[in-house]
Amino acid sequence: MFFRVFTALATAALLLAPPAALAQEPAKKAPAKSDAPAKGKDLYPPGFFEFMLKQRTAQGQPDTPELRAAVRDELNTRELLVREAKKQGLDKSPGMKTEMDLSAQTVLVRAYMADYLKAHPVSDDVLHKEYDGIRAQMGDKEYKVRHILVEKEDEAKDIIASLQKGEKFEKLADRSKDTGSKANGGGLDWNTPSNFVKPFADAMVGLQKGKFTTTPVQTQFGWHVIEVDDIRDAKVPSFDEVKPQLAQRMQGQVVEKYLRDLRAKNGY
């Protein structure tokens, strides 16, 4: 999670060179000294191969002779390119040095936060408590509703009057300013009350299947007319199904608290 393999763009450019054109170039005298590795000899620093191989296998690639050869080839090619870049003094330019320093800083910060989270794990008790809280907030019912959103209360009242005269909700939804649901006759996906702002949710749960609100419902978005198409028991995933997402969420909260405390401690 904390490390990514960056694609060697220069390597890709080399691979795009037309092989036929390269084959037609006249033979040139070999240079007196070459940076190319001798057969079986690697150029990259110790530890690079093991580190990159571990990255690749952690991403799901099987540890095969082919993978090892590809990793070794990439590392050797990178090292050759690095040497060429250094010959041109690119590593000494201010912009490049800053970018390299920032990259090193990013790696160090990620490693530090990984160690911090390892030393401050989120217990299963905390995860269960969070799960129970979310489940209680969701409720035990899901609602499939339609709504029409307008700017003014009088517009909503006029729509309600039309519904009471027998006009179809789907047709009246053409007047809605909610473009996302307007094309679907005002229809929304299955949702629990917790997914809506409170005035909308309160009005929704107070309706029976097939009924609509007889008074406009005001939210920060405008005025709503709501109709309940269907109601069903909520499909709540088990704790084990959502445990990875819960752990990630709670780890994020641990990091946020640590950063707040760190800033406060340093007067930032």
Task: Determine the pLDDT at residue 59.
Answer: 95
**Same domain, residue pair 104 and 4:** yes
Q: Is the pLDDT of residue 156 over 50?
A: yes
DSSP structural state of residue 185: T
The C-alpha atoms of residue 204 and residue 225 are separated, in whole angstroms, by 10
Asked if residue 38 is part of any domain, the answer here is no
Count structural domains, the chain: 3
Q: Which domain holds residue 260?
A: 124-132+237-265
231 within 8 A of 142, measured Cβ to Cβ? yes
Asked if residue 213 is part of any domain, the answer here is yes
**Same domain, residue pair 14 and 68:** yes
Average pLDDT in the chain: 87
How much is the average pLDDT of 151-179? 97
The C-alpha atoms of residue 85 and residue 82 are separated, in whole angstroms, by 5
Q: Is the pLDDT of residue 267 over 70?
A: yes
Continuous segment of H or E residues that includes residue 144: strand 141-150
**Same domain, residue pair 128 and 260:** yes
Residue given tokens 């799901």 in the structure block: 60
Give the gyration radius of the chain's Cα atoms: 31
Asked if residue 118 is part of any domain, the answer here is no
CATH number at residue 196: 3.10.50.40
The C-alpha atoms of residue 104 and residue 190 are separated, in whole angstroms, by 46
Q: Is the pLDDT of residue 29 over 90?
A: no
The C-alpha atoms of residue 200 and residue 194 are separated, in whole angstroms, by 10
How much is the average pLDDT of 219-242? 95
How much is the average pLDDT of 37-66? 89
**Same domain, residue pair 82 and 155:** no
Q: Render pLDDT for 90-141 as a digit per residue (tens, 0 to 9).
A: 999 989 999 999 999 999 999 999 999 999 999 999 999 999 998 888 888 9
**Same domain, residue pair 229 and 242:** no
Q: Is the pLDDT of residue 1 over 80?
A: no
Task: Determine the pLDDT at residue 40.
Answer: 60
Structural tokens at position 246: 């819960």
**What percent of the chain is modeled with pLDDT above 70?**
85
Structural tokens at position 162: 């039309």
Beta strand 141-150 pairing with 217-219: unpaired
Q: Is the pLDDT of residue 51 over 50?
A: yes
**Same domain, residue pair 229 and 260:** no
**Same domain, residue pair 50 and 104:** yes
Asked if residue 36 is part of any domain, the answer here is no
Candidates 247, 24, 45; CA nearest to 130 is 247
Asked if residue 86 is part of any domain, the answer here is yes
Task: Determine the pLDDT at residue 20.
Answer: 33
Burial 10-35 (b: 16+ CB within 10 A, else e): eeeeeeeeeeeeeeeeeeeeeeeeee
4 within 8 A of 110, measured Cβ to Cβ? no
Task: Determine the pLDDT at residue 204.
Answer: 98
Q: pLDDT band at residue 3, thresholds of 50, 70 and 90?
A: very low
Sequence-ordered list of residues with C-beta below 8 angstroms from that of 99, at least 6 positions apart, any chain: none
Q: Is the pLDDT of residue 61 over 70?
A: yes
Q: Is the pLDDT of residue 13 over 50?
A: no
Determine whether 226 is exposed, middle or buried from the number of CB atoms within 10 Å of its CB (0-12, 13-18, 19+): buried
How much is the average pLDDT of 60-86? 96
Structural tokens at position 57: 């296998």
